[in-house]
Structures are given as structure tokens and as C-alpha cells.
Amino acid sequence: MARDILVFYGSYRRDRQGIKLARWIVDTLSARGDAAELIDAKAIDLPMLDRRFSDYRDGEAPPAMANLAARIAAADGFVFVTGEYNGGLQPGLKNLTDHFLEQYHWRPAAIASYSAGPFAGIKAATAWRGTLAVLGMVVTSTSLSLARIGGAFDAEGRPAGEDGARLEKAFPRFADDLEWWIDAAAAQRARQAPPF
């Protein structure tokens, strides 16, 4: 059975580079037999956080927010694709993520980070680990980090050069770790209801 995996991406920049990585992850997970879907913060365009989904009464949340809440709650697991902004979290992705809470509970998440330079968004990935855990997700131990993203993909969106080759080499372990935790969480939820 295909695992239902949402791949979150949150850059609003004009010349978005990380979208290449997010799309490649969706395609590569799909090629492995999973049902992966891109959740692009810019395309969904939720407002700056004023009220979380849970702050609305039933039927009163904006339609885009309500639809995404249902989609998150139905998913088996998540990948968060994040750039590093001044050594910290990507604001568009953080805003998108913070609109929801219990929809994420008891499902695993993996982090894929990137940067224009050699450090591959490691500081952002580190910051996301704590944030995702607070939101009720189990964060996998294997992350995916891509340096020099501007040259890591060719015109067709395929990995290119040394950094692209490193990405392709690292991806199977990243995906195996996420898929194992998705299967483990699903088995546990089937065996026993979450404690709260």
C-alpha cells in the first residue's frame, strides 16, 4: 500500500531554488511507490497567522485552511523542505506550519534542508527538529541536506554535478528512514489509540 506523504515547501521568493528540491523529492518518493504531494505555501497563500485552524468553530475556517487541515490529518507522514534564512527558519514555511497542530500528531516527519552556500541549511534543519517535535511529530534521525542548490539540478530538474550526486546517494537512506517510521506509526495507531 502506498504511503501518503506530504512534502511541505515554504519559500515566497521570486527566484525560488528550493522548489527544485521539493519537486524532486515528490517525484522520487512517487517513483518508490509512495503517494507524495507537494504542499507549496506560496500556492496555498494562507495569511500571516492570526488564528490557527483549531481557533475556528466548525465550518468557519477559510476554505483553503480547512481543506489543508483535512489533507494533513489524512496523511501518513511529512517531509519539510527548508531553506536557511539568516541562520534560522524559513518564514513562509513556518507560517504555513503554525496554522495547524493536532493534524500532525502521531505521524513522522523528515527534514530536507538546502542553501546557496556550502552549509546546506544545517542551522535551519536543526531549528526545525524542535519545532516539529513540539507540533506532535516524530522527527526522523536521517535528514537530507543539499549545498549549492543553484547548481545541483539541471534544466529538467534532475540532480546535477557533485552536489546533485551527493543528493542522489543520500536519498535512499533518508526515504527508508521516513518510510520505516511511517509504517511503525501506522501499526501502533492500529494497535492502540494515541494517549491524548
Q: Identify whether 142 is part of a domain.
A: yes
Q: What is the CATH number of the domain that holds 56?
A: 3.40.50.360
Model pLDDT for residues 20-71, shown as the tens digit of each residue? 999 999 999 999 999 999 999 999 999 999 999 999 999 999 999 999 999 9
Q: Identify whether 141 is part of a domain.
A: yes
- pTM, to two decimals: 0.96
Q: Identify whether 149 is part of a domain.
A: yes
**Closest by Cα among 77, 57, 59 to 67:** 59
| Domain range enclosing 18 | 4-191
Are 116 and 17 in contact by the 8 Å Cβ rule? The answer is: yes
Q: Identify whether 196 is part of a domain.
A: no
Q: Identify whether 94 is part of a domain.
A: yes
**What is the DSSP code string of 70-129?**
HHHHH-SEEEEEEE-BTTB--HHHHHHHHT-SGGGTT-EEEEEEE-SSTTTTHHHHHHHH
Q: Identify whether 49 is part of a domain.
A: yes
Q: Number of structural domains, the chain?
A: 1
pLDDT in tens, the chain (196 residues): 799 999 999 999 989 999 999 999 999 999 999 999 999 999 999 999 999 999 999 999 999 999 999 999 999 999 999 998 888 889 999 999 999 999 999 999 999 999 998 999 999 999 999 999 999 999 999 999 999 999 999 999 999 999 999 999 999 999 999 999 999 999 999 999 888 8
* Grid cell digits, residue 72: 494533513
Q: What is the CA radius of gyration of the chain?
A: 16
Q: Identify whether 86 is part of a domain.
A: yes
